[in-house]
């Protein structure tokens, strides 16, 4: 019997879950993950056991990056550069020209007419040399020499004829990571801010920096949450919106939130977060909780809270998240709020999953979704940013061998990959600030949530990387659900799609491709900020702005660059814009629905138990 057959249908009662002595509700067999015995996969595992063990050991020294993939990229770039004498001469002339300009600036360094940054200036987003101490000699010359070298290497790794775009991007990215590590701001003797702090404090900054380093090391070894997060505790100060777990299976808990208005819109909202993050990114502190905002606008809100997998979940498949996540949640909501359309929201990977579920539902004539909202979610992965640089056959096979040892991808490897995308801000600036300056940035709810990482099951992550990132099956019509093809073009429900301007995980230009993939009205909104801070943008918080424009299903396509020119700018949070869009597609207000079902009486209040796993 398939998992789909085991899932409860709307018209069928769900058998109540059993409660153990500790008060933990155990799911019924119908709510459990399937038990797989893939003999071919296990035979292959035995066949390559030594190779897998070797790769898993090697990964500890390479940061999870396949040395073969990196070597092939450098071989491609180096061989083509060696066979390009004219390009070599251009680079040589550039190096001589920059050296001459720097030497000339050095010869006039003490002249009163000599201005700092006369040779080269930091880029607008580069804050490493923004303090006035860097305008003094010799630190200004040192910073300019570094910036000149950085620019030269950027030119050297790009524009070599014959090098594949992917390999060129890998070489440029890896060289940039090395240069970021060697920046003069990372070393005490070449950083004037650190030297000034040392002189003023009598070296006390190094004592505090040592304490910070030891604290971080102990935290890393214990694999726990940050030691200074007492003020941000799940269920006490964050994730505090009143609600109750109304359904649970082996993969997720479904939370229903209490209404905060006398009347509510009849259509409930279902939030589908990514399982690479804890759900409470959308229910942080009360002042920046999207859940709290929605209930205050008169919506009934449900949210999925994924269980953090462990080694026993190695065979959990990508489609299990659709069946036991989105589909099971819709069935449970249908029992609580029967005969109502659902406003479905998917965030990041949860949005990709929701798109797949919506396409399969449309194919099968299931019309329970009234609208679909995607937040920083991709459905085409050909322009998925620097995160995809190492997503090739060599790297995916290497990652599979890493995961095979434990049955999941560890939290540190996923967090490390995201930090590399913004290494200046998330790695090296922290090194200087915390360990050399001896200071600490006060913790925030978003920082603490970001450190509350999750694991990824072996089979799910392998399928995700291969089917979506590597082969792009969803965008190209090859993706299968229940052994049949699905197409995003079958989706006709109105869509509200949010991209974030500084997104390094789901670049907005990639998110924008939904316009020509679905046959639906698409309201696209581009908001300021990044992947997380751009989404968590409550009204009243300064610094937020957005552009928004709607394309009807039968309207001609508008290109991305043209869209930026045409879409009007609005200052403030995008949340009210989305709330207004939802209200226009909702019915008249009515009495709030009941909270949960009678057979869910043994389940805990929000935020539930899975968020603590």
For residues 359 and 354, give the distance between their C-alpha atoms in angstroms, rounded to a whole number.
Answer: 8
Q: Cα 612 from chain centroid?
A: 20
For residues 602 and 286, give the distance between their C-alpha atoms in angstroms, rounded to a whole number.
Answer: 27
β-bridge mates for residue 245, sequence order: 255
Is 348 noted as a catalytic residue in this protein? yes
Other C-beta atoms within 10 Å of 6: how many?
15
**CB within 8 A of 581, min separation 6: which ones?**
496, 523
The dihedrals phi and psi of 19, each to the nearest 5 degrees, come to -115, 125
Residue 498 is inside which H or E element, if any?
strand 495-500
Structural tokens at position 160: 């070599």
Structural tokens at position 47: 């066949």
Three-class DSSP category at 232: coil
Cis peptide before 89 (omega within 30 of 0): no
For residues 140 and 143, give the distance between their C-alpha atoms in angstroms, rounded to a whole number.
Answer: 5
* Catalytic-role residue among 59, 264, 348, 403: 348
Cis peptide before 333 (omega within 30 of 0): no
Asked if residues 550 and 521 have their Cβ atoms less than 8 Å apart, the reply is: yes
- List the Cα angle 324/303/414 in 5-degree steps: 75
**484 phi-psi bin (left φ>0, alpha ψ -120 to 50, beta other):** beta
For residues 507 and 51, give the distance between their C-alpha atoms in angstroms, rounded to a whole number.
Answer: 35
The dihedrals phi and psi of 30, each to the nearest 5 degrees, come to -70, -15
Asked if residues 498 and 507 have their Cβ atoms less than 8 Å apart, the reply is: no
**203 phi-psi bin (left φ>0, alpha ψ -120 to 50, beta other):** left
* Helical H segments across 202-260, by residue range: 204-222
Structural tokens at position 496: 């509200």
Asked if residues 242 and 257 have their Cβ atoms less than 8 Å apart, the reply is: yes
For residues 324 and 306, give the distance between their C-alpha atoms in angstroms, rounded to a whole number.
Answer: 10
Counted residue by residue, the chain has a size of 613
**CB within 8 A of 577, min separation 6: which ones?**
525, 546, 548, 570
For residues 408 and 404, give the distance between their C-alpha atoms in angstroms, rounded to a whole number.
Answer: 7
For residues 566 and 563, give the distance between their C-alpha atoms in angstroms, rounded to a whole number.
Answer: 5
Give the residue from 492, 498, 479 showing the smallest Cα distance to 322: 479
Structural tokens at position 246: 């109304």
Give the residue from 564, 576, 502 showing the smallest Cα distance to 533: 502
Structural tokens at position 517: 């993939």
The dihedrals phi and psi of 88, each to the nearest 5 degrees, come to -65, -40
User: Would you call 297 exposed, middle or buried from its count of C-beta atoms within 10 A (0-12, 13-18, 19+)?
Assistant: buried
Looking at residue 438, the DSSP 8-state letter turns out to be -
Residues tagged active-site = 348
């Amino acid at each position: 019997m398939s998992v789909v057959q085991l899932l409860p249908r709307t018209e069928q009662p769900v058998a109540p879950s059993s409660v153990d002595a500790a008060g933990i509700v155990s799911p019924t067999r119908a709510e459990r993950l399937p038990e797989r015995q893939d003999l071919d996969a296990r035979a292959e595992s035995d066949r390559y056991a030594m190779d897998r063990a070797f790769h898993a050991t090697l990964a500890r020294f390479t940061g999870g990056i396949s040395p073969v993939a990196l070597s092939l990229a450098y071989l491609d770039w180096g061989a083509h550069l060696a066979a390009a004498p004219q390009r070599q001469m251009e680079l040589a002339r550039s190096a001589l020209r920059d050296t001459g300009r720097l030497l000339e600036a050095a010869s006039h360094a003490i002249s009163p007419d000599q201005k700092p940054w006369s040779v080269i200036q930091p880029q607008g987003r580069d804050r490493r040399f923004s303090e006035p101490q860097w305008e003094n000699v010799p630190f200004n010359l040192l910073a300019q020499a570094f910036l000149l070298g950085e620019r030269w290497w950027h030119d050297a790794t790009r524009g070599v004829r014959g090098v594949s775009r992917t390999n060129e991007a890998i070489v440029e990215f890896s060289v940039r990571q090395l240069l970021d590590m060697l920046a003069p701001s990372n070393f005490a003797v070449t950083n004037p801010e650190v030297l000034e702090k040392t002189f003023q404090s009598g070296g006390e900054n190094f004592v505090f920096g040592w304490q910070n380093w030891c604290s971080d090391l102990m935290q890393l070894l214990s694999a726990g949450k940050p030691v200074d997060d007492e003020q941000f505790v799940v269920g006490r100060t964050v994730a505090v919106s009143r609600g109750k777990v109304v359904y649970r299976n082996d993969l997720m808990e479904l939370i229903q939130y209490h209404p905060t208005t006398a009347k509510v819109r009849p259509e409930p909202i279902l939030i589908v977060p990514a399982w690479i993050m804890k759900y409470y990114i959308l229910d942080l502190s009360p002042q920046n909780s999207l859940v709290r905002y929605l209930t205050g606008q008169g919506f009934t809100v449900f949210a999925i809270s994924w269980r953090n997998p462990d080694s026993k979940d190695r065979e959990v498949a990508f489609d299990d998240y659709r069946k036991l996540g989105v589909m099971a949640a819709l069935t449970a909501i249908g029992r609580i709020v029967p005969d109502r359309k659902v406003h479905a929201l998917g965030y990041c990977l949860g949005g990709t999953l929701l798109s797949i579920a919506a396409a399969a539902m449309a194919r099968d004539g299931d019309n329970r979704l009234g609208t679909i909202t995607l937040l920083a979610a991709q459905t085409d992965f050909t322009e998925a940013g620097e995160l995809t640089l190492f997503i090739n056959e060599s790297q995916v096979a290497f990652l599979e061998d890493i995961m095979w040892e434990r049955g999941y991808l560890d939290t540190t490897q996923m967090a490390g990959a995201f930090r590399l995308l913004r290494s200046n801000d998330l790695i090296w600036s922290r090194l200087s600030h915390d360990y050399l300056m001896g200071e600490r940035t006060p913790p925030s709810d978003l920082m603490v949530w970001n450190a509350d990482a999750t694991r990824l099951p072996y089979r799910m992550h392998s399928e995700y990387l291969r089917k979506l990132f590597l082969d792009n099956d969803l965008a190209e019509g090859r993706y299968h659900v229940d052994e049949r093809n699905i197409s995003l073009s079958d989706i006709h429900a109105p869509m509200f799609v949010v991209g974030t301007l500084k997104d390094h995980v789901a670049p907005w230009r990639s998110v924008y491709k939904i316009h020509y993939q679905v046959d639906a009205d698409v309201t696209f909104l581009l908001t300021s900020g990044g992947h997380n801070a751009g989404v968590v943008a409550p009204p009243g918080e300064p610094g937020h702005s957005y552009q928004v424009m709607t394309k009807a299903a039968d309207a001609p396509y508008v290109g991305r660059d043209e869209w930026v020119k045409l879409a009007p700018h609005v200052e403030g949070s995008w949340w009210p814009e989305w709330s207004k869009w939802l209200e226009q597609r909702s019915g008249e207000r009515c009495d709030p629905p009941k909270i949960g079902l009678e057979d869910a009486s043994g389940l805990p209040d929000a935020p539930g138990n899975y968020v603590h796993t």
